[in-house]
């Protein structure tokens, strides 16, 4: 595990464990409702309906996965990995409460080393995770995403863009303890390095913070 991944594990364990006061309170509310905001992106831009095996990297409280199951059918297999065992405990409670135990599977794992066989998924996505990944762990994560996707499968991610107002970036870094907001050219170059030479942008509205969103979807090539 990379140093930044250990750091995120400690931070999200504390956040979801309720040890960060108001930040924990607000964070938990946001994670509980994120599915309502973001599953539309997966439907419109990422071929969620036709994907039978779906993986979310950094699934948090499984809000997106449970909502995806609801709107896109439970004839599919949804997997979530997360580095924080406390976030995953919360996700398990949510999945149990919604009776989705046989459809959504969770594994504790860092994004940089996915515990799945090659070519296991039709769709892999990350929502608000890449700001936590250093250049090294992001490179490893995207290579892993490429490895576990079937040829023709899709990788998507969305994340806050750096704002032209430095105080907004400082604020995002302060409340998320992240350090790596990236521009479109930076994100595209990480994707190319991991084997995704082309990607399309799409629009995501994030109601949480006054900054625009980076959102990209890329396809794994069907021939080398």
Ligand X SMILES: C[S@@+](CC[C@H](N)C(=O)[O-])C[C@H]1O[C@@H](n2cnc3c(N)ncnc32)[C@H](O)[C@@H]1O
- The site for ligand X (CB under 6 A) is made up of 5, 8, 12, 31, 34, 58-60, 63-64, 82-84, 87, 110-111, 127-129, 132-133, 137
Q: Output the six-digit token pair for 129.
A: 């995770």
Nearest approach, Cβ of residue 223 and ligand X (Å): 30
- DSSP code string of 96-128: HHTT-TTTEEEEE--TTS--S-TT-EEEEEEES
Question: Which residues on adjacent β-strands are paired with residue 105?
Answer: 79
Nearest approach, Cβ of residue 195 and ligand X (Å): 20
CB closer to ligand X, 77 vs 132: 132
d(CA 62, CA 16): 13
Q: Output the six-digit token pair for 160.
A: 């806050």
CB closer to ligand X, 82 vs 122: 82
Nearest approach, Cβ of residue 41 and ligand X (Å): 11
Residue nearest ligand X, Cβ-based:
60
- The SS3 of residue 96 is helix
Nearest approach, Cβ of residue 167 and ligand X (Å): 21
d(CA 111, CA 108): 10
CB closer to ligand X, 8 vs 69: 8
């Amino acid at each position: 595990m990379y140093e930044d991944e250990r750091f995120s594990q400690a931070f999200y364990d504390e956040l979801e464990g309720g040890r960060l006061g108001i930040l924990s309170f607000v964070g938990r509310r946001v994670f509980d409702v994120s599915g309502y905001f973001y599953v539309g992106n997966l439907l419109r831009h990422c071929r969620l309906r036709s994907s039978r095996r779906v993986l979310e990297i950094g699934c948090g409280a499984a809000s997106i996965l449970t909502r995806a199951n609801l709107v896109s059918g439970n004839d599919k297999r949804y997997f979530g990995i997360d580095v924080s065992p406390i976030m995953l405990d919360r996700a398990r409670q949510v999945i149990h409460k919604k009776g989705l135990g046989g459809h959504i599977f969770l594994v504790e794992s860092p994004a940089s080393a996915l515990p799945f066989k090659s070519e296991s998924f039709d769709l892999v996505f990350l929502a608000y995770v890449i700001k936590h990944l250093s250049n090294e762990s992001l490179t490893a994560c995207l290579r892993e995403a490429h490895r576990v996707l079937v040829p023709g499968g899709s990788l998507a991610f969305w994340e806050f863009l750096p704002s032209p107002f430095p105080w907004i970036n400082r604020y995002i870094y302060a409340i998320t303890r992240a350090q790596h907001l990236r521009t479109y050219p930076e994100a595209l170059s990480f994707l190319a390095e991991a084997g995704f030479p082309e990607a399309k942008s799409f629009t995501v509205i994030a109601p949480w913070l006054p900054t625009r969103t980076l959102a990209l979807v890329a396809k794994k090539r069907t021939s080398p």
